[in-house]
Structures are given as structure tokens and as C-alpha cells.
Chain A
């Protein structure tokens, strides 16, 4: 286990550097804003007096380095400032909207892995034959449209023409569920309301599929490419020479060794869904971070913009660390016994 720990520490070290960089980047973005942030914060009708006051309050009268210092100090204290849009602390807003987004992204991630990998395995196993061609065209199609186009098409087909799924929202208003985690699939179970749980799942299907489609395509294409390379290895021929079933060879001999190189990219695709969630949420009126994000951006609500981006970057980093650890763990399960043996 010690090597996993070492990788974790190294990864955390890099993450800290990257996070410092991200904070600088976000700070820089906030400062390239044309015009005076104080004026934007106050709106066009502010008096000169108010402007001076808010300038002092926002430390805008201090040198840029000091401003960055204040920004970092505030962030470390968990203070992301107050949103001009909602008039509440940005952290409160994020705590309210982030779980809905995470729930959506996690379900989409499950779909991505659950459908993408098997499709890739299928294509690789029948490489050069018709299942391969079909999967190739289908996956190329799914990666060729932004998630909001899939969202609109799915909504039209499966919510309007075939009313199989709800059009919008997370839960039927008939249910009243106490908020604990913010994940409705979890909260409904905590409340012991199984009907509400199914309703929450029912609401999740279309948005999650819309969000996952391009990820499914990417995961399938990647898995296929890595597996086709593995199929040329001598141990595949050996497995064939020993008469193992083709399906067994595909799963155990061609897929397993190609999983590790695929994982990094799949992790990146998963994290990219955090961005695409903005689009899907907009279509399905999903009350997640996106509606908040777009609203604060259109209002030039600096604190809220910086806070939202920071939280998303943080989530992104955490996902990547988890993926790296998973890879390290899979690798060490092999390498661990090395030291015992030689």
C-alpha cells in the first residue's frame, strides 16, 4: 500500500500547485473585466460615495498583489464573498445547487462506463466486421453533437412524442422530501419514500443520457482502439491456441490489459461533463449549478462567477486524483506482489 500512498502524496502536491495556479487564473480573469468592478457591482445608478466605499471594501484601492492575497485568504477561510444576484454568501448558493449537478454528472458517468466500455469491447471483438462498423458510425455520431442537441432531441422524442419521461425538473411536486444530502436519489431513500426515489430516477434518465451520449461514444472508441492494439499481442494468440471462448478472450485477455491506459482519458471525459452539465441543465430546467452560473455571468456577479469556477475546478481536480489513485491501485495489485516474489 505504501506506493499508493506515495502516489497520493505526489498527486496532492501537484494538485496544490495547480490549485494555486487556478486561483491566480480565476483572479486574473476577474481583473481583466473591462471597467471598474466596483461600478459593475453597484450598477449604473451608484453615487461616487458608494463607489469609494465599495472600493475600500473590495480592497480595490490596494496593489494587485495585496488584492490577490485578500482573495486567497478569503477563499481559505471558506469565504467566497456575497453574490450580488442572490444577496447570499456564494458558498450557500453553491451548497444549494452543486448536489443536483453532481447527481446528474455521476449518473451520466455510470452510463458512460456502463455502455461505453461494453460497446468498445463488442467492436474490438468483431474488428473489421459489421458490428465494428455499426459501433464506429454510431459512436462517431454521438460524439458529433453537443449535449444540448441530444437533450433537445431526446426531450422531443421521449418526453413529448412518446411521453415516457418527464419533461423537466428533478422530482414531482407532489413529493415533499427533506433535504439532507441534496442528492434526491439518496434523500428519498433516507426519507424511506420509495415512490419518490423511483420518481427521482425517472426524472434523471433523459438528462443523464443526453449528458452521457458523447462520453459513451468517446469511451467506446478509446476502448476499441486500445483493445485492437492488445489483440495483436502474443498472449492473445496463446489464449486462442488454448481454445478459450472468444467472449472470454475479449474480456479477460484483450480488455483487462487495455483498461488502464483508457482510464485516464475516461476520467477526463467524466470531468468534462461538469461543463456540459451546464447545457443539459438548461434544456431540462434542472435546478443545478448551471442556471445559477449563467444567471450570475449575465449579471457580471464577480464573486459568484469566481466561486463557481473555483468549485468546479476543485471537483475536477478531485475526480482526477481519484482516477489516478484507481490506476495506481490497479497497477500495484500487480506490482505489490513483485516485491514479495523477487
Chain B
């Protein structure tokens, strides 16, 4: 662990990624304490300060009803990160189990499971999520469900390809020869060899989940107002371009910053853990 940290710290880009991620996670956790206007995550109205550009009072300006954009961005990070964590905590294990079973067991199980994965992968990811949300009510929970539904097959495919090549390795054959139970071989022997790739993918995917989730709320299919969300903030502000540019630009940059951080960190992890691109 300390070795991994040292390697990440020795590369300026990975280090920047780690610091960015820590900064954003801290901002999300401590939002109620560090936000200049901690009540602005609700339907507060303060017309006296409505639609104002960046100033000493409101670093990133205010929205149409006078809420502080900076405070709302901090709260929106809570939603984005929370959603990302929930989605990955469900999607990664589900996909891993499917991929592991298909890759290690082979035969019948392999054909059925991987065809199923193919089906999910043959609808563009965003469109699948949009379709699921289209028939459910647009809420945070349903957005999580929609994104999870489109996400697990990617883990299945990743783990499947590793498990399939590991199946032929000597240590697996040896375990089979001594009669180890199938579940033991799959989860105790094969799975650990998939972990570096899974961890790297989860880091990179935090960024992608943030992109997809904000895309859904940009289309009005995700988190509903007054809860602050980066995607819906951009959408709302886009109607008042170019005059009230701060309403879109700052939430947009907030997405960029967070995803960039996770990507830098993920790239660094890939090197540390020796995962192929």
C-alpha cells in the first residue's frame, strides 16, 4: 500500500489526480460546513441577489432565484459521488460474478450469460439508461437503477476475458486436479487475479458514472429540483446564455474537474497495478 502510494506520488499527474479526488470527496463530505450558504441546496429564494455574476459574496455567481452557485456545486458533488458509489457497489460485483461464472465454467453457462451481456452492450449505454428512466419516474433512486442496469455488463465482459484466459493457467488446473470445489477455484483462485483490473476500472468508472448521471439529469431525467445536481444546473443555465454564463460554465467545469481527477488517478493506478489498457 505504501509502495503504491509512493509510485503514485512520484508521478506528478497521478499525484494531481489523487489530490483532486481527495479535495472533491472532502468538499462533498463537508459541504454543510464549508459551503458559504449551506441552506441553498433547497428551494430557498433570495431575489435580492438573483442572477448575479461572480463576486466576493458569491464566488461563482447566483442563479435565477438568488442561490449561491458555489454552495450548490458542493452539494451537487454529494449527489454525484453518492450515485457513483452506489452504482459501482452494485454493478461491479454483479458483473464480476456473471463474468467469472461465464469465463470459468464455460460451455452452456458461458453462451447464455455472454449472449445476455451482448444484448445489453448492443444498446448505446446512455440510450439504455434513458429508456429505463423513460418508463420509471425520474428520481435519484431510479437514475441509480438505470445507470446500474447499463453498467454491470461492462464488468462482466472485463472479468470474463480475464477469467477465460486464467482458466488455462497451471494453478487453476492444479486446483482442479486436487479436487477443489468449483466455487473455491472461481472465487479464491481466479477472482484475485481479476482484482487489479476491476479496481482500476472502478476508479476510472467513477468519472464515467458522473458523466452519465449528469447527462441524465441534464435531459431532465435524473435528480429533480430543488436538489442541486451538476447536470440539471448546466441545463437550467444554458437557457440564459450568453448573459448569465456563470450558471452553466461553473457547474460544467465542476463536472470536468471531478472526472479529470478520477481519470488521472485511474491512469496512475493502472501503472501501479500493471493493468493493460
A and B touching (C-beta < 8 Å)? yes
User: Which chain A residues have a beta carbon within 8 Å of chain B's beta carbons?
Assistant: 14, 17-18, 21-22, 24-26, 29-30, 32-34, 136-137, 140-141, 143-146, 148-149, 152-153, 155-156, 160-161, 221-222, 225, 271-272, 274-276, 278-279, 282-283, 293-294, 296-298, 300, 302, 305, 309, 312-313, 316-317, 320
Give Cα distance in the complex from A278 to B256, angstroms.
19
Residue of B nearest to A151 (CB): B238
Give Cα distance in the complex from A17 to B116, angstroms.
10
B252–A145 CB distance below 8 A: yes
In the complex, chain A residues whose CB is within 8 Å of the CB of B125 = 272, 275
A317–B214 CB distance below 8 A: no
Give Cα distance in the complex from A320 to B121, angstroms.
11
A141–B135 CB distance below 8 A: no
Q: Can you list 13 A-B pairs with a CB-CB distance of less than 8 A? A: A22-B122, A25-B119, A33-B136, A145-B256, A148-B215, A153-B252, A274-B127, A279-B215, A297-B131, A297-B133, A300-B135, A302-B135, A316-B123
Q: Is B223 an interface residue (CB 8 A)?
A: no
B260–A144 CB distance below 8 A: yes
Give Cα distance in the complex from A311 to B249, angstroms.
34
Distance in Å from the Cβ of A284 to the closest Cβ of chain B? 10
A21–B245 CB distance below 8 A: no
Q: A141-B256, A141-B260, A297-B134 are in contact. Are A17 and B115 (CB under 8 A)?
A: yes
Q: Is B203 an interface residue (CB 8 A)?
A: no
Residue of B nearest to A145 (CB): B256
Residue of B nearest to A293 (CB): B130
Give Cα distance in the complex from A273 to B84, angstroms.
22
In the complex, chain B residues whose CB is within 8 Å of the CB of A278 = 126-127, 130, 215, 219
Q: Map CB proximity to A onto B132-159 as digits: 1 under 8 Å, 0 otherwise.
A: 1111110000000000000000000000
Give Cα distance in the complex from A155 to B125, angstroms.
26
Distance in Å from the Cβ of A290 to the closest Cβ of chain B? 8
Q: Is B190 an interface residue (CB 8 A)?
A: no
Q: Is B241 an interface residue (CB 8 A)?
A: yes
Q: A143-B263, A145-B259, A222-B277 are in contact. Are A155 and B241 (CB under 8 A)?
A: yes
In the complex, chain A residues whose CB is within 8 Å of the CB of B115 = 17-18, 21
Q: Of A34, A143, A312, which contacts B127 at CB under 8 A?
A: A312
In the complex, chain A residues whose CB is within 8 Å of the CB of B248 = 152, 156
A300–B134 CB distance below 8 A: yes
Distance in Å from the Cβ of B35 to the closest Cβ of chain A? 22
Give Cα distance in the complex from A152 to B218, angstroms.
12
Give Cα distance in the complex from A246 to B120, angstroms.
43
Q: Of A18, A297, A298, A302, which contacts B118 at CB under 8 A?
A: A18
Q: Is B91 an interface residue (CB 8 A)?
A: no
Give Cα distance in the complex from A34 to B138, angstroms.
12
B124–A275 CB distance below 8 A: yes
Please indicate which of the listed interface residues A17, A297, A317 has the most CB atoms of chain B within 10 Å of its own CB: A297
We find that the number of chain B residues with CB closer than 8 angstroms to chain A is: 49
Q: Is B222 an interface residue (CB 8 A)?
A: no
In the complex, chain B residues whose CB is within 8 Å of the CB of A17 = 115, 118
Give Cα distance in the complex from A296 to B133, angstroms.
12
Q: A140-B267, A144-B260 are in contact. Are A320 and B211 (CB under 8 A)?
A: no
In the complex, chain B residues whose CB is within 8 Å of the CB of A305 = 131, 134-135
Q: Map CB proximity to A onto B210-241 as digits: 1 under 8 Å, 0 otherwise.
A: 01101100111100000000010011001001
B136–A144 CB distance below 8 A: no
In the complex, chain B residues whose CB is within 8 Å of the CB of A30 = 135
Distance in Å from the Cβ of A13 to the closest Cβ of chain B? 12
B218–A313 CB distance below 8 A: no
B211–A145 CB distance below 8 A: yes
Distance in Å from the Cβ of A183 to the closest Cβ of chain B? 21
A271–B124 CB distance below 8 A: yes
Top 9 A-B residue pairs of the complex, sorted by shortest distance between their CB atoms? A275-B126, A21-B119, A297-B134, A275-B124, A160-B242, A149-B252, A144-B260, A144-B259, A33-B135
Known interface pairs A34-B136, A152-B248; 8 further A-B residue pairs with C-beta atoms within 8 A, sorted by A's residue number: A141-B256, A144-B259, A152-B241, A274-B124, A293-B130, A294-B219, A309-B127, A309-B131
In the complex, chain A residues whose CB is within 8 Å of the CB of B214 = 146
B252–A316 CB distance below 8 A: no
In the complex, chain A residues whose CB is within 8 Å of the CB of B256 = 141, 144-145, 149
B249–A156 CB distance below 8 A: yes
Q: Is B264 an interface residue (CB 8 A)?
A: yes
A283–B118 CB distance below 8 A: no
Please indicate which of the listed interface residues A146, A271, A302, A312 has the most CB atoms of chain B within 10 Å of its own CB: A146
B277–A225 CB distance below 8 A: yes
Residue of B nearest to A265 (CB): B277
